[in-house]
Amino acid sequence: MKITVGHASLPRVGFTANGDAVFVRNDGSRLLLVVIDALGHGPAAASVAATALGVLGEIPHSSSLHDVVERVHAHLRGGRGAAALFLLVSAATASPAAVSPGIFGALASAGGAGGAHGGATAGQTPVEVASYEVCSVGNVEARARPSKLPLLLTPGVLGLRLRAPRIVRGTFTVTTRVVIFTDGISGRIDVPSVDGIAPEAASSSLLQHHRREHDDATVAIADIEL
Ligand SMILES: [Mn+2]
């Protein structure tokens, strides 16, 4: 598995401080990617975002996504709060019989009944896949291509009020691009328009074309190559 991440962000027009921020920890076989959108904009929002980045930088690598979300929530208490999307991707293997191209889903447990594939010769060699966990608190969104990335938005604001984080778990069985964006980006974002462009440049292009000027705006892209 090879993971490449790029991102681009701009503050609200007229401001230099940015309340959006991106945290990336890419170990090659494991990625923690968090896109933060502190409430409001300007220096106070930027301060909240910086606090979140500081907390994330000190989180143990072995932490579950649930722990990551709860820890950020705890450390942002007393501030104006933030929305954020948390994505954790890890290398994994599956039996070919468990992997139907284009269909994601839970890894079939060993010996699990059937997929569309799994010939007698291929059945012996595990195939590389990527397992993921994703959680979005507030309104940071994500899209994936060509795989789907189902998001269950968790209501609330990190640092203020948070119900049990809704974490979706699944598996990418084909090379997949994940695009994460804050609400400073139009929901009409045209992800296919940057197919074939590397994450950093693709993020800049999407930011330029779909930015709303009244808010901080951020795009982060992770290419997960299997
Ligand atoms: Mn925003």
- Give the start-to-end residue ranges of the domains of the chain: 2-93+129-225
Cα-to-centroid distance, 34 and ligand 1 (Å): 14
pLDDT for 126-172, tens place per residue? 999 999 999 999 999 999 999 999 999 999 999 999 989 999 999 99
- How far does the centroid of ligand 1 lie from the alpha carbon of residue 226, in Å? 33
Q: Residue 41 C-alpha to ligand 1 middle, in angstroms? A: 8
Ligand 1 center from residue 178 Cα (angstroms):
19
Rounded-to-integer distance, Cα 143 and Cα 52, Å: 23
CATH architecture designation of domain 2-93+129-225 = 4-Layer Sandwich (3.60)
Q: How far is the CA of 1 from the centre of ligand 1 (A)?
A: 32
Strand order in the sheet with 176-181: 2-10, 217-225, 176-181, 141-145
Contact 81, 123 (CB under 8 A): no
> Tens digit of pLDDT for each residue in 44-74?
999 999 999 999 999 999 999 999 999 999 9
- The two three-digit tokens of residue 193, written as one number: 């328009």
pLDDT at position 97 is 81
